[in-house]
Amino acid sequence: MPVQPPPVKRQLAAVFDMNKCLGCQTCTIACKTLWTDEEGMEYMWWNIVSTMPGEGTPRGWQKLSGGFQDGEPRPSRLPKLSEFGHAWEFNYEDVLYGGQGMNQHLQPKTGDDNWGPLWDEDQASGAYPNSYFFYLQMICMHCTNPACLAACPRQAIYKRVDDGIVLIDEERCSGYRFCMEACPYKRIYFNQAKKVSQKCILCYPRIEQGVAPACFRQCPGRVRFIGFLDDEESAVHKLVKVWKVAIPLHPEFGTEPNMYYVPPLSPPLFDDNGDVIEGSERIPRQYLESLFGPDVNRVLDTLRTEMAKTRRGEKSEMLDTLIAYEWKSMFGGFTRDPGTLKRPV
């Protein structure tokens, strides 16, 4: 039987409303500048926003397996460095100041030409005019049953009892990378300079001081909600537990993730004459089921019912919560201004 962490007193959780994401990557950069700008962390993106349907990062992570099936670990493999890829350097100096006019074009100076982070950014699926894409936001899922923790022979990974945040103790980590292999969401990176595994820490130094994590606080789309799952006043609790319109990504991975998603609604399809096909949806439900399981159908139908209500002039507390007219309503009490911190993070 795989190792399980002791039960937590409370669990922090998050909801990502996929319908509001701009794909701007402000969240990605907020994390990068705060936590992963040191040596060995160059290729790390603890927060990623991938264009879907797409391969994501590391490339094809959904097929790499991991997690649990029937309570037993599912075999997986370690993602290769080339599957993460790295950000390219471009020949701006040559193009802008090289004096070669139109003979010099913008191109990468370095980089693996087979893959890189956001390689398939904004690339649509389906045929025009019925093409579509949407954005998937991912950080560590701070799972209730973390496969990374179960796989570590050094007990270097632990789950905090007070808030359920999953952390890696770098003093104990021996760099075996079994965690990286076991995590089905492939949210762990290996730091080649320090020879330890590293991942999203849910900005715990901020959480401890009442501040929302950087990638949540900085999001201009008001996509990201955070709060304790048992806090009945929090938007997270209402969306997950009361209205049940936020559901986990790949629940079949068996790690009981604590990040939840409001799945994307679709624009309608056009027929050959360019007319809207009433009641149709451009994103195939089958594809969404492959991400969220069959429960996604219930959620999308619930969202559509609520939207119909507001179109009739009725109120929808659920939609008002998702719209988040007041930003503080999204953060379950973690609303302190980071500028006021004694220990700045």
Residues that bind ligand SF4 (CB under 6 A): 21-27, 30-31, 34-35, 46-47, 49, 135, 137, 139-143, 146-148, 166, 183, 185, 187-188, 199-203, 213-215, 219-221, 223-224, 255
Q: Which is nearer to ligand SF4, 29 or 269 (CB)?
A: 29
**Residue number, 42 or 94, with CB nearest to ligand SF4:** 42
Residue 310: CB atoms within 10 Å: 13
Among candidate residues 157, 154, 160, the one with its CA nearest the CA of residue 176: 154
CB of 31 to ligand SF4, least distance (A): 3
Quote the CA–CA distance of 326 and 227 in Å, as a whole number.
15
Identify which of residues 51 and 125 has a Cβ nearer to ligand SF4 in the complex. 51
| Chain centroid to CA 63 | 17
Q: Report the residue number, 11 or 137, with the smaller CB distance to ligand SF4.
A: 137
Q: How far is CA 216 from the centre of its chain?
A: 11
Query: How many angstroms separate the CA atoms of 241 and 230, rounded?
Result: 9
Least Å distance, CB 80 to ligand SF4, is 18
The least distance separating ligand SF4 from the CB of residue 200, rounded to whole angstroms, comes to: 3
Smallest distance from ligand SF4 to CB 52, Å: 13
- b/e for 215-252, b at 16 or more Cβ within 10 A? bbbbbebbbbbbbbbebeebbbbbbbeebebbbbbbee
In this complex, which beta carbon is closest to ligand SF4, that of residue 95 or of residue 124? 124
- Shortest Å, Cβ 30 to ligand SF4: 6
Give which of 145, 122, 139 is closest to 52, Cα–Cα.
122
For the bound state, the minimum distance from the C-beta of residue 121 to ligand SF4, rounded and expressed in Å, comes to 11
With respect to ligand SF4, which residue has the nearer C-beta, 125 or 145? 145
Residues sharing a CB contact under 8 Å with residue 345, sequence separation 6 or more, in sequence order? 34, 203, 205, 206, 209, 211, 338
* CA nearest neighbour of 140 among 42, 257, 282, 230: 257
Q: 173 vs 201, which CB is nearer to ligand SF4?
A: 201
The angle subtended at Cα 249 by Cα 243 and Cα 251, nearest 5°, is 90
Q: How far is the CB of 278 from ligand SF4 (least distance, A)?
A: 30
Q: Which is nearer to ligand SF4, 175 or 268 (CB)?
A: 175
CA distance 129 to 19: 20
Shortest CB 269 distance to ligand SF4, Å: 25
Q: Which helix (H) or strand (E) holds 136?
A: strand 134-138
